[in-house]
Each structure stands twice: as structure tokens, then as C-alpha cells.
Structure 1
Amino acid sequence: MAKKLVIKVTAGADAPERCSQAFTVAAVAVASGVEVSLWLTGESSWFALPGRAAEFELPHAAPLPDLLDSILAAGQITLCTQCAARREITEADVLEGVRIAGAQVFVSEIMPDGVQALVY
């Protein structure tokens, strides 16, 4: 059975340690060959926009742009539909490779047997 990890990150610059943990776990999982789906919700939604990850700083943490790039290269990043709408973010605004999807897609990803989901 293939391994899959679904991570929903709700924290952004407002809770930098939680945010960094989510991106770090996702990037390490991708590097380990795990299928990863990272969901950006709440304040992490802003990281779907070009340049926003570069503004994030946390001492002793891997640079967020590097983590984001590695996840985009081998995993899936999804921006929550409602979170995008509340921030007036459209598909035309987001980084290449980021999709916008809602709760139905999230539930379909976490329901199959063997899927692990984490929320940060």
C-alpha cells in the first residue's frame, strides 16, 4: 500500500513555529518518498501567493521558500476555497502548481485506508 500524508496547516506568520513545523514535516515526507498533500488554510493561505514565503522568518528553521519549492516539486499543495475567497485570492494569483479546492476534496483525500492526516 502506498503511503500518503495529508497535512492541513492553519498557521502562518501569526504562529511561526506551528507553520514551520507543518512545512518541514511535509518537505521531509516528500524527500522520504511519501505522497504528500499540504493544505493551506487560515493565515497560511498567504503562502500560496508568489513572494509571500520569502517574507516568513523563523530562527533555526529551514527557509520557507525552500520547503515550499520541494513540496511543489513532488507533492500537492492546495489552497482552501473559502480561505482564498475571504482573502480575495483567485487561481490567477497563486503559485504555479497550487490548486484551489474545498472541503469535499479534503475529505476525499483523508478517507482512504492508510492515509494519515495532520493539522497544524
Structure 2
Amino acid sequence: MNIYTRSFIFWSLASDILWETDDSPSSGEHSMITLPGITIHSKIYESLASLVYRGIREQDNCAVIAKVLKQDYPSPQDLTRYRQEYEITRFLNIEGVVKAYSQQDYQRTLVILLEDFGGEHSPVG
């Protein structure tokens, strides 16, 4: 794993932490999401702000990561921050940096589809 990949992973997961007061896993139960054209296989990370899933995009059998805001009714500020995260990530065309494929509405929130490079979440510390 090169420095750009590690930096992006840290930045992406840290972006949740920056907007939270506690990054411990939530005790609330959330079921797997259902997205059109995506087969979700597993939840790989959970913070107070978001849930991160691993899946396959059915049209081309491409491995993807789905990052979704966790709140049922996110604030306008949270939605704006998520849109900005997607836009920034989408334009980072640097070798070794995870690519942002798309952003879409999901129920009353947003989901970002990212390239899955096969990495695993490990706690910082």
C-alpha cells in the first residue's frame, strides 16, 4: 500500500471523526442497505456519522465501497459536507488514491460509491 492510498484511507475515515465528538461504534443496530444495481456483501466500518459497506456493482462486476450517512434525517450541514467530500474525492486523479465513482440519494440521505482496493479498516492508535 503506497503513501497516497494510506493518506486517503486516513483522510476518508478521519473526515467522520472530525465532525463527531466520539468515534466509537454505535450501539444502534443498522441492517444492510439495499442499493439498485449493487450487491452489498458486508458492513466493514461504522462511526457515529456513517456506515461503510463492501459490495459489487452488478453492471460490470466491479468491487465497490458504499459509504452512507447514518442518520435517518441528516442535517443540511451534514448533507453539504458529504456532497463536498464526494466532489473533492472525485477530482483527486492521483495514482494510488481511491476513486469516487458516484453519489446518489438513498432514502432521506446520501451514499457515496468508492473504488474498493481490498483494504481493511484498522483502528488508529
TM over 0.5: no
Higher strand share: 2
Structure of higher RCO (CA pairs closer than 8 Å, 6+ residues apart): 1
TM-score of the pair, normalised by structure 2: 0.27
- State which structure, 1 or 2, has the greater radius of gyration over its C-alpha atoms: 2
Higher helix share: 1
TM-score of the pair, normalised by structure 1: 0.28
